[in-house]
């Protein structure tokens, strides 16, 4: 019995020792797996020729998943009917591709998976896997390389589709609106270069799209487009550059609707500056019409001072190239009443003017009922300008530093389209000291005039600009402190604005050059910025 207890005690002691040792630390589980999955085989094999089947399987050494396949997978040439690809949302040791489209004869197809294939546990990607097969006797091996730029911004978009259209007896430029390209690739999310591979020798049109709907056809309203000017011939060693731009929309008038009493809203797309609205039919005696632009939306308002005694009427809406006849049915709405809003409030910069806008078109101003005085109650001379389309009065006067300006508009200083007048209006504005601002002098080298010199913020938003049709020094005085980038628009037609391109008219956007150096504009600093243009 003693021998038994001795052995049992020894067993317990060893057991306690083992458990104690086991609890001293938690196992780490080893190093994190950073290895991507490996392909063990493909059926049919990658780069198969004389492909006849409709199913492809790609096997891996571990469980994998497919992520963001809608963005990452590029099939070239594109297929009319998309294949079924599994697994989606689950893990598997193989990818199955079931083809549903009729394959073109003697054509090389490439499935570019991008970084969509990842292992199941750590999601390590299999980088840029491509499965290729040919329905003919050989694999096409030629390529077209290049880079994508943005015509207006310093950085180009990601996920840009770059496409080749075969230039044969059936080709015309409008094919980008109707048909998928012969070959395609995508810059994905990491680079702005492209390489369209596995193409055959021939002549092609090179087009790039920021294809928002991913349908491989150009939708003017949603997409950016870029194109190479000439037809390219493959094989070629040229590295092609393509600039993306947003076209101005083709003019289109939208069915009008009653916005308020004696006020009709005409929505539009495209250029509104040459847009005209004409009332058809009998016109009552004394009818006066006005057209104003909505501050925010693509809408023009047609105002009329007489009630039109009819249920409906026709309007002709036109611009230089387009003409539409639109039906309109009148509704009984209350007229807008006059409200007046000051656009500048509080602080006024030295290069700003004071502006007011109205909810109803202005028809008359009496400057004798308006006074501007400074902080010493000294009257300040001013002049006014009226922008009829935007229904805005601008007050121009000399501004001095560290000054306060009080603007008083007595009753009846302003009269509206419907005969309303203002009550007494008071506005207080003040200027800062010159030392609160920064000054930037821009000196251009190798410039071809005319040019527009612009300062933008770090997001590319325009803050200040100056135009010149001959060499000069560009002084941006008393600008707000902050960080700026310098860009120069080569204003080829001298219209003092940047003009975008047009694909069908074969017009490239006007060139813009960015200076990559950040300008840090501090208060009371004078900066000289030299920019040598190439």
Q: For 338-359, how does the pLDDT look when each residue is reduced to its tens digit (9 = 90+)?
A: 999 999 999 999 999 999 999 9
**Taking Cα atoms as reference points, which of 489, 470, 401, 404 lies closest to residue 437?**
401
Query: CA 228: distance to chain centroid?
Result: 21
Q: Between residues 99 and 88, which one has the greater pLDDT?
A: 99
Q: Between residues 407 and 124, which one has the greater pLDDT?
A: 407
The per-residue pLDDT for 47 is 97
437-532 is a CATH 2.60.40.10 domain: yes
Q: For 40-61, how does the pLDDT look when each residue is reduced to its tens digit (9 = 90+)?
A: 999 999 999 999 999 999 999 9
Q: CA neighbours within 13 Å on the CB side: how many for 522?
A: 1
Q: Give yes or no for residue 27 having a pLDDT over 70.
A: no
Class at the top of the CATH hierarchy for domain 142-244: mainly beta
Q: Give yes or no for residue 21 having a pLDDT over 60.
A: no
Percent of the chain, pLDDT > 90? 80
Do residues 101 and 80 lie in contact, with contact meaning Cβ atoms separated by under 8 Å?
Answer: yes
- CB contact burial 443-455 (16+ within 10 A = b; e otherwise): ebeebeebbbbbb
Q: Give yes or no for residue 324 having a pLDDT over 70.
A: yes
Mean pLDDT of 484-502: 96
Q: Give yes or no for residue 217 having a pLDDT over 50.
A: yes
Mean pLDDT of 194-211: 96
Q: Give yes or no for residue 31 having a pLDDT over 80.
A: no
The per-residue pLDDT for 257 is 95
The per-residue pLDDT for 22 is 42
Percent of the chain, pLDDT > 70? 94
Alpha carbons 363 and 384: distance in angstroms, whole number: 14
Domain spans, the chain: 39-134, 142-244, 252-329, 340-432, 437-532
Mean pLDDT of 151-170: 93
* Tokens 């007050």 sit on residue: 395
Alpha carbons 491 and 468: distance in angstroms, whole number: 9
Mean pLDDT of 375-386: 97
Q: Right CATH number for 39-134 from 2.60.40.1220, 3.40.50.1860, 3.40.50.170, 3.40.50.280?
A: 2.60.40.1220
Mean pLDDT of the chain: 91
The per-residue pLDDT for 17 is 42
The per-residue pLDDT for 23 is 43
**Taking Cα atoms as reference points, which of 97, 106, 232 lies closest to residue 163?**
232
Encoded tokens for 337:
């009443």
Do residues 97 and 56 lie in contact, with contact meaning Cβ atoms separated by under 8 Å?
Answer: yes
Q: Where are the alpha helices (DSSP H) in 352-394?
A: none
Q: What is the three-state SS of 96-154?
A: EEECCCCCCCCCEEEEECCCCEEECCCCCECCCCEEEEECCCCCCCEEEEEEEEECCCC
In whole angstroms, how far apart are CA 153 and each of 181, 245, 380? 27, 9, 42
Encoded tokens for 16:
């306690």
Geometric angle at alpha carbon 282, from 277 and 287, rounded to 5° = 65
Mean pLDDT of 297-319: 91
Q: Give yes or no for residue 501 having a pLDDT over 80.
A: yes
Q: Could you tell me if residue 295 is left (phi over 0), alpha (psi between -120 and 50 degrees) or otherwise beta? A: alpha
The per-residue pLDDT for 5 is 40
CATH number of 340-432: 2.60.40.3710
Query: CA 396: distance to chain centroid?
Result: 35
CATH number of 252-329: 2.60.40.1220
Residue 438: Cβ within 10 Å count:
22
Q: Give yes or no for residue 372 having a pLDDT over 90.
A: yes
The per-residue pLDDT for 282 is 85
Per-residue confidence at 1, pLDDT binned at 50, 70, 90?
A: very low
Do residues 465 and 452 lie in contact, with contact meaning Cβ atoms separated by under 8 Å?
Answer: yes
* Helix H or strand E segment including 456: strand 451-456
Q: For 462-480, how does the pLDDT look when each residue is reduced to its tens digit (9 = 90+)?
A: 999 999 999 999 999 999 9
Per-residue confidence at 13, pLDDT binned at 50, 70, 90?
A: very low
Residue 12: Cβ within 10 Å count:
10
Per-residue confidence at 62, pLDDT binned at 50, 70, 90?
A: very high
The two domains 340-432 and 437-532 share their CATH topology (first three levels equal): yes
3-class SS at 369? helix
Report for 185-189, 209-213, 386-390: range of highest mean pLDDT: 386-390
The per-residue pLDDT for 274 is 85
Q: Could you tell me if residue 94 is left (phi over 0), alpha (psi between -120 and 50 degrees) or otherwise beta? A: beta
Measure the N-to-C terminal CA separation of the chain; round to a whole number of Å. Answer: 102
In whole angstroms, how far apart are CA 356 and each of 350, 404, 457, 460, 464? 17, 18, 27, 28, 21
Mean pLDDT of 228-236: 96
């Amino acid at each position: 019995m003693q021998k038994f207890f001795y052995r049992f005690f020894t067993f317990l002691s060893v057991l306690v020792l083992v458990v104690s040792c086991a609890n001293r630390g938690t196992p780490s589980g080893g190093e994190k797996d950073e290895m991507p999955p490996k392909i063990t085989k493909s059926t049919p094999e990658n780069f198969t020729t004389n492909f006849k089947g409709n199913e492809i399987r790609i096997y891996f050494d571990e469980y994998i998943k497919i992520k963001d396949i809608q963005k990452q997978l590029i099939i070239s040439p594109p297929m009319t009917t998309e294949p079924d690809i599994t697994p989606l949302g689950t893990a598997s040791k193989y990818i199955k591709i079931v083809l549903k489209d009729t394959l073109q004869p003697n054509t090389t197809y490439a499935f570019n998976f991008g970084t969509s294939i990842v292992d199941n546990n750590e999601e390590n990607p299999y980088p840029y896997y491509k499965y290729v097969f040919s329905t003919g006797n050989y694999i096409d091996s030629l390529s077209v390389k290049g880079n994508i730029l943005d015509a207006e911004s310093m950085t180009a978009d990601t996920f840009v589709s770059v496409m080749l259209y075969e230039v044969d007896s059936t080709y015309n430029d409008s094919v980008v609106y109707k048909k998928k390209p012969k070959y395609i690739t995508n810059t994905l999310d990491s680079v702005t270069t492209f390489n369209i591979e596995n193409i055959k020798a021939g002549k092609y049109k090179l087009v790039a799209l920021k294809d928002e709907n991913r349908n491989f056809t150009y939708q003017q309203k949603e997409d950016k487009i870029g194109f190479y000017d000439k037809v390219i011939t493959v094989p070629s060693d040229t590295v092609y550059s393509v600039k993306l731009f947003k076209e101005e929309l083709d003019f289109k008038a939208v069915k009008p609707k009653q916005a308020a009493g004696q006020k009709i809203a005409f929505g539009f797309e495209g250029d509104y500056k040459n847009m005209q609205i004409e009332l058809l039919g009998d016109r009552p005696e004394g009818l006066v019409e006005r057209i104003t632009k909505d501050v925010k939306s693509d809408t023009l308002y047609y105002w009329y001072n007489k009630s039109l005694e009819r249920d409906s009427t026709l309007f002709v809406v036109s611009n230089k190239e387009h003409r539409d006849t639109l039906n309109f049915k009148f509704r009984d709405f209350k007229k807008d009443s006059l409200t007046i809003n000051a656009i500048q409030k509080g602080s006024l910069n030295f290069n700003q003017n004071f502006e007011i806008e109205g909810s109803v078109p202005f028809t008359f101003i009496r400057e004798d009922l308006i006074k501007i005085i400074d902080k010493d109650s000294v009257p300040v001379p001013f002049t006014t300008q009226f922008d009829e389309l935007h229904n805005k009065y601008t007050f121009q006067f000399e501004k001095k530093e560290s000054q306060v300006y009080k603007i008083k508009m007595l009753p009846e200083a302003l009269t509206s389209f419907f005969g309303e007048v203002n009550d007494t209006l008071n506005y207080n504005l003040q200027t800062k000291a010159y030392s609160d601002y920064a000054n930037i002098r821009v000196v251009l080298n190798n410039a071809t005039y005319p040019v527009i010199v612009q300062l933008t913020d770090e997001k590319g938003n325009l803050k200040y600009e100056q135009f010149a049709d001959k060499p000069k020094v560009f002084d941006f005085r008393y600008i707000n402190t902050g960080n700026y980038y310098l860009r120069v628009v080569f204003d080829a037609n001298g219209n003092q604005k940047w003009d975008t391109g047009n694909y069908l008219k074969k017009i490239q956007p006007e060139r813009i050059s960015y200076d990559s150096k950040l300008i840090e504009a501090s208060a009371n600093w004078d900066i000289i910025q030299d920019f040598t243009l190439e």
